[in-house]
Structure 1
Amino acid sequence: MGNPVFVALDTPNLDRAIEIAKSVKGHVGGLKLGLEFFCAHGHHGVHEIQKIGLPIFLDLKLHDIPNTVAKAMQAINVLEPAIVTIHASGGRAMMEDAKAAANGHTKVVGVTLLTSLDERDMGKIGYAGSPHDQVERLAGLAQEAGLDGIVCSGNEVATAHKAWKDGFFVVPGLRPKGGKMGDQKRTVTPRQARDNGASVLVIGRPITGADDPNAAARAIEGTL
């Protein structure tokens, strides 16, 4: 993969998503569409964004019983996404069925721990240990299940990459040096994430919320 940056078009406004995508297409490697966009526009919206000509990352974070997730994966195969997310905490059987149901060219990656959660949050929802422990545990399970890789923060990607040499690592929640944290709690810069082994860098608000998204994307590209 050339440019590892996938801009997160996390908006329910289709026209705005298209406008941003067209503006930054020369400085990013792909477009990420999440739940907010997909719930608003479904397959039609994805088809409209595909016209821009960049790989599509469907960040749907599928999480249900194995049969349901497999059928959901089959339902989106027609969209030919480059990447799809599922929750690794759904268990090995769910991950195996999701991967088996996906198109051969689609990378299926397991979300380990949301970047909006820290160790205190983990304790409240019953997860033992540190974020590193949780990521390491679920990365091992995802690898056993035959997934292509995982989603983790830039703080954990180096450890995950060391244990899974040929894994595909998606790192969200990135912030350029001096950027606003927002609701993210475990962030690094795009350059740090790339140096630590990230395959894909997911960047949203630092680009989409900028006065000039094209300039913001170009500036980030220049740091990689």
Structure 2
Amino acid sequence: MTVLSRNPRIIVALDYPSAAPALDLVSGLDPASCRLKVGKEMFTRLGPGFVEKLVGKGFDVFLDLKFHDIPNTVAAACAAAADLGVWMVNVHASGGSKMMMAARERLESLSHRPLLIAVTILTSLGEKDIAEIGFSGAPADNVIRLARLTADSGLDGIVCSPLEAAEVRPLVGPEFLLVTPGVRPASAVQDDQKRVMTPLNALNNGADLLVIGRPITAADDPQASLDRIQQEIAGFCGAQS
């Protein structure tokens, strides 16, 4: 059974078009100081072997492919991810409880069980965007509804905006993981994320794990940028350990 460890809290998003710059970045990072996220572009370009290479370097890898399909297909995909040795994998909560439970049950039968979390509402979507796809109410209303569904389906946590974490936390309890993209140091540009928050404020709001990409990976000195964020949240992490 995978331990629900909160530390290290920073997950570095490896959003690169090729392996070389990603591996160059990773070579300068300590697996004890951060985790890594591999998303759709890198996985599509570089395949499972790249993920296994990162795992082999000692990193916890979050395979962020957001599976959303019929229950059997999603369950099989999650099992395939587990075979790569990943630490965490995700699905879309909007796939429904049958899909999420099928994935959870498949992973529970394995000797190595990655954490299984669900995406609620993408942080790039505002109220007009979610109305366009047929969801009524504000983003927070939908995040809360999908968070409850995910918890009832027995998953380990959700992906949500840090702005909604404070509302979700009391509904799901302290052990349920809240993984938050849309985290930016105060000095960073927001890019295409609409619902954002600084790392320390996100943790104070109830977040457990912080997905941070360009403020680290696009920095002139990525390790120095990571170190500054670690210093920013050190007081919170020390108080929680």
Which runs of no fewer than 5 residues in structure 2 stay unpaired?
A: 1-5, 234-241
Deviation at residue 181 of structure 1 after TM alignment: 0.8
Tell me what 2:71 maps to. 66
- 1:10 Cα deviation from its structure 2 partner: 1.2
1:88 aligned onto 2:93: yes
CA distance in 2, matches of 1:163, 1:46: 34
1:29 is displaced (CA, Å) by 2.2
1:134 matches 2:142: yes
| 8 Å CA contact 2:126, 2:139 repeated in 1 | yes
Name 1:217's counterpart in structure 2.
226
TM-score, structure 2 normalization: 0.89
Matched, 1:39 2:44: yes
CA distance in 2, matches of 1:29, 1:162: 27
Residue deviations 1:144-168 (CA, integer Å, cap 9, x gap): 1111110000000111111111211
Residues 113 and 135, structure 1, Cα contact 8 Å, conserved in 2: yes
Map of 1:169 onto structure 2: 178
Corresponding residue for 2:130?
Answer: 122
4+ runs deviating over 3 angstroms: none
Are the equivalent residues in 1 in contact too, given 2:55–2:86 (CA < 8 A)?
no
Q: Which deviates more, 78-87 or 95-104?
A: 95-104
What corresponds to 1:78 in structure 2?
Answer: 83
Aligned partner letter, 2:198: T
State the distance in 2 between where 1:179 and 1:27 align: 24
Structure-2 separation of matches of 1:63 and 1:73: 11
1:210 offset after TM fit, Å? 0.6
Q: What is the TM-score with the length of structure 1 in the denominator?
A: 0.96
> Which residue pairs with 2:213 in the alignment?
204
Give the aligned residue type for 2:228.
A
In 2, Cα distance between equivalents of 1:39 and 1:47: 14
Q: Percent identity of the aligned residues?
A: 43
SS in 2 for 1:3: coil
**Superposed CA offset, 1:171-200 (max 9, x none):** 012110031011100000111111112111
Q: Which moved more, 1:199-208 or 1:98-107?
A: 98-107
| Preserved contact between residue 183 and residue 197 of structure 2 (Cα < 8 Å) | yes
Give the superposition deviation at 1:26.
Answer: 6.2
